[in-house]
Amino acid sequence: MVEFDDAFRRQLRELFVWRRDVRRFRTDPLPDGAVERLIDTACLSPSVGLSQPWRFVIVDDASRRRAVIDDFKACNADALACYSGERAARYAALKLSGLEQAPGHLAVFADKASDIGHGLGRATMPETTEYSVVGAITAMWLAARADGIGLGWVSILNPQRIHDVLDVPASWKFIAYLCIGYPEAECDQPELERAKWEHRRDASEFTLRR
């Protein structure tokens, strides 16, 4: 039996407060096995029917990385074109990926065809497969921060293109592309808030009682 004390709870809260989506990375490499250990921790996450539908692809190959970066640039240009005026100028000024600098690239997929879990919990809500993978990514995000490692989620990508670049099975649905490395700086405020793009709102704004 494990008990967690007040000191641990305070530290855990600090972990949540100081976890960041990181886009500005130092280029020095991570220790051997660091990404594998994060994957190991992520695999402790809850999953529908204990299906463990997460699939991880560590992307080391330089030409595949370059193809992902090129896809990000194309998708980001398309995204910019959807804005106009001052909002466009603000969007253009944002840094929305650390793909060029991050020493670690990790793609995460959900296996929609796996028999693991025997379909439990998925009959009426097949999307719980993807929910399970997102939960695992959140666990990895926090575990990384506890190790002093930054993680940045990049979704400004064409899923089919990433699928092709990484040559993964057709049943794998693309969920996330993660940049992993040591952050240039630590902060307790989201970068989008510091850039005055959006601000974090209080929980009461999102909570109803019925």
Q: Interface residues with ligand FNR (CB under 6 A)? A: 20-21, 23, 96-97, 153-156, 190, 192
Cβ proximity to ligand FNR, 21 vs 184, nearer residue? 21
Min. distance of Cβ 11 from ligand FNR in angstroms? 18
| Nearest distance in Å: CB 119, ligand FNR | 26
Q: Is 23 or 173 the residue whose CB approaches ligand FNR more closely?
A: 23
Name the residue whose CB lies closest to ligand FNR: 190
In whole angstroms, give the CA distance from residue 148 to residue 143. 9
Coil, strand or helix at 110 = strand
CA angle 110–73–185, rounded 5-degree value: 80
Tokens of 202: 């209080």
Rounded distance between C-alpha atoms, residue 203 and residue 207, angstroms: 6
With respect to ligand FNR, which residue has the nearer C-beta, 50 or 78?
A: 78
Distance of closest approach, residue 21 Cβ to ligand FNR, in angstroms: 3
CA distance 135 to 126: 15
**Smallest distance, ligand FNR to C-beta of residue 16, A:** 9
Kindly tell me which of 50 and 186 has the beta carbon lying closer to ligand FNR: 186
The residues, ordered by sequence, that sit 6+ positions from 166 with a Cβ below 8 Å of its Cβ are: 57, 59, 64, 107
CB of 169 to ligand FNR, least distance (A): 22
Identify which of 84, 107, 209, 119 has the alpha carbon closest to the alpha carbon of residue 158. Answer: 107
Closer by beta carbon to ligand FNR, 20 or else 122? 20
Dihedral sign for Cα atoms in the order 191, 107, 170, 125? negative
Q: What number of residues does the chain have?
A: 210
Q: How far is the CB of 2 from ligand FNR (least distance, A)?
A: 28
Helix ranges, 43-196 (H): 62-81, 85-93, 128-146, 159-166, 191-194
Cβ proximity to ligand FNR: between 117 and 182 the closer is: 182
